[in-house]
Amino acid sequence: MIATYNAEVARLPLKPEALATAEFVTSDPRRIKWSSSLVSRLERGQLGVFSTENMVVSTYRPFQKAWIYYDKMFIHRPGQMSSIFPEPNVPNLIISVPSPGNVTPFSALMTDSMQDLSVTAAKAGTQCFPLHFFDSGEGDEGGFFADQSGKTTQRYAITDTGLKHFLDAYPGEAITKEDLFYYVYGLLHSEDYRAKYADNLSKELPRIPRVKTAADFWAFSRAGRTLGDLHVNYETVEPYPVTIKQGDLRLADIKNPEAFYRVTKWAFGKNGKEKDKTTVIYNANITMQDVPLPILLLALTLASPALGQNFSCRIGTQPACLDYGDKVCSSSGMCVDQNAACFDKYQCNYEGFTCKSNVTECAETHDALLRKHNELVDDFNENLELARGMATRLDEIETCLLYAGNLDDAKSCGR
Tens of pLDDT along 77-115? 777 888 888 887 789 999 999 888 777 788 899 999 988
Asked whether 366 and 118 are in contact (CB, 8 A), the reply is: yes
> CB under 8 Å to 251, separation ≥6 — which residues?
none
Higher pLDDT, residue 291 or 65: 65
pLDDT at site 211: 92
Residue-wise pLDDT for 322-354, tens only, equals: 333 344 443 333 334 444 333 333 333 333 333
CA distance 210 to 226: 20
The domain limits of the chain are 1-50, 52-232, 243-291, 306-415
Confidence band (pLDDT; 50, 70, 90) for 132? very high
The three-state (H, E, C) secondary structure of 68-133, written as one string: EECCCCCCCCCCCHHHHCCCCCCCCCEEEEECCCCCCCCCCEEECCEECCCCCCCCCCEEEEECEE
Confidence band (pLDDT; 50, 70, 90) for 268? confident
CA distance 10 to 49: 14
Average pLDDT, the chain: 76
pTM across the whole model: 0.61
pLDDT at site 75: 84
Task: Give the highest mean pLDDT range of 22-26, 140-144, 381-385.
Answer: 22-26
CA distance 315 to 325: 17
pLDDT at site 293: 64
Asked whether the predicted pLDDT for residue 269 surpasses 80, the reply is yes
CA distance 213 to 237: 32
Asked whether the predicted pLDDT for residue 412 surpasses 90, the reply is no
Lowest mean pLDDT among 50-54, 125-129, 184-188, 398-402: 398-402
Asked whether the predicted pLDDT for residue 168 surpasses 50, the reply is yes
What is the pLDDT averaged over residues 46-68? 87
Asked whether the predicted pLDDT for residue 367 surpasses 80, the reply is no
Confidence band (pLDDT; 50, 70, 90) for 150? very low
SS3 call for 231: helix
CA distance 317 to 213: 62
pLDDT at site 362: 52
- As a 3-state breakdown, the chain gives helix, strand, coil percent values, each rounded to 5, of 40, 20, 45
